[in-house]
A and B are shown apart, each in its own frame.
Chain A
């Protein structure tokens, strides 16, 4: 499973553009920071109040006052800044974040996303996800294609939504998809799978891009 997560993170990292302000969700999305392509400089924002988020500190170098939004010890890179939560969410809602990468439970063909609650079962709360979804210029969902074999990419989300129509792209171990006004278009395919295998694991009907590409997996970090 870790291999799948890393693979998805490696592919998502190719979407990073020089100078982007990026907010990564907890879990798989956090791994994207490990694969920033060579020559690309991005600024990671963390909603608990910092920009220029750096890597995990060396053992013994942790500062209990300096963590990411998951409460894990982190570092701050040169040029970085700390701020309060009101400013942090002004950055987020105010369209100053170029790209956010989030995990999800469900996504549908209208770009709706459900990832904060399974009623009567799991109620962790939305945290900053609703604000990130409406505020980020580009929203990428990075997740496993299915949950225990059941599709997560649906015609219509059945769980309560986190945001309506905000998802731009979906990255899974099977391929890369974009949300269009006509539905979900498969634009890259992992050659380990066939189109019909991917469609079988996807409830929404996929539009296959005319210039369907092989999913790019390896690059220089």
Chain B
């Protein structure tokens, strides 16, 4: 059975873990899982997320609580706290173009050694990266990205762990579910079964379904 409660979820975390958090400007981010992680007080985390959320929403809560050592994201513009902490050296931030970030995560879950993208050519993004020419076009070699844990938000999750995402909550969630050793999903709604035609993340990528404590 994949169903665990918040307390069991919290006992899983240790200092220094790398954690992917689904969501785009916190849409599709599981706030209950973030809140539980805040309560664990684990620190020195590497967080991989599209953005820095807002100061009091999404991964912004973890940043505010000084639990994050490094943030890997495509932008941090709507979280001034993250910007300030980056400026005074309290938070390491690695900025990656959004399409490259999600594709690196996809590559991590898909068993690929990386991929070639034209994005970032001629910019500081290419620094330290291998360039390759294919049919007279220049590309950057971007490597796969994996993490210890993925925190996913499912709109509908069945008892097997199959997931459907509603509207724009899907974003990074399906790729992150594939790219981590342990994937936890927070279901907005649990149902017995889902129509296999419409499943977006098959259950094999989901290790635990987390629910409220009894």
Q: A84-B173, A161-B123 are in contact. Are A131 and B97 (CB under 8 A)?
A: yes
Q: List, in ascending order, chain A residues with CB within 8 A of B98's CB.
A: 47, 85, 89, 126-128, 131
- What are the nearest 8 A-B pairs in CB distance? A164-B122, A125-B75, A124-B77, A89-B99, A71-B25, A131-B99, A66-B167, A130-B97
Q: List, in ascending order, chain A residues with CB within 8 A of B155's CB.
A: 65
User: What is the bound-complex CA distance between A130 and B120, given in angstroms?
Assistant: 6
Q: Count of B residues near A, CB < 8 Å?
A: 47
Question: Does residue A93 face the partner (Cβ distance < 8 Å to B)?
Answer: yes
- 25 A-B residue pairs with Cβ-Cβ distance under 8 Å, sorted by A, are A50-B168, A65-B155, A65-B168, A67-B24, A69-B25, A71-B26, A82-B168, A85-B98, A85-B102, A123-B76, A123-B86, A124-B77, A124-B83, A125-B74, A126-B74, A127-B74, A127-B98, A128-B97, A128-B98, A129-B97, A130-B100, A130-B119, A131-B119, A135-B119, A161-B123
Which of chain B's residues has its CB closest to A76's CB?
Answer: B167
User: What is the bound-complex CA distance between A124 and B24, given in angstroms?
Assistant: 15
Selected contact of A49 from candidates B95, B123, B171, CB within 8 Å? B171
Q: List, in ascending order, chain B residues with CB within 8 A of A71's CB.
A: 24-27, 78
Interface residues of B (CB under 8 A from A): 24-28, 50-51, 73-78, 83, 86-87, 93, 95, 97-100, 102-103, 106, 117-125, 155, 165-175, 200
Which of chain B's residues has its CB closest to A70's CB?
Answer: B25
Question: Does residue A139 face the partner (Cβ distance < 8 Å to B)?
Answer: no
Q: List, in ascending order, chain B residues with CB within 8 A of A131's CB.
A: 97-100, 119
Q: A86-B102, A124-B77 are in contact. Are A49 and B97 (CB under 8 A)?
A: no
Selected contact of A48 from candidates B25, B76, B87, B93, CB within 8 Å? B25
Contact between A48 and B123, CB atoms less than 8 A apart: no
Known: A85-B102, A164-B122. 9 other contacts (CB 8 A): A69-B24, A71-B25, A85-B172, A86-B174, A126-B97, A126-B125, A131-B97, A134-B118, A134-B119
User: What is the bound-complex CA distance between A85 and B96, given in angstroms?
Assistant: 14
Smallest Cβ distance from B29 to chain A, in angstroms?
Answer: 11
Question: Does residue A193 face the partner (Cβ distance < 8 Å to B)?
Answer: no
User: What is the bound-complex CA distance between A112 and B122, given in angstroms?
Assistant: 9
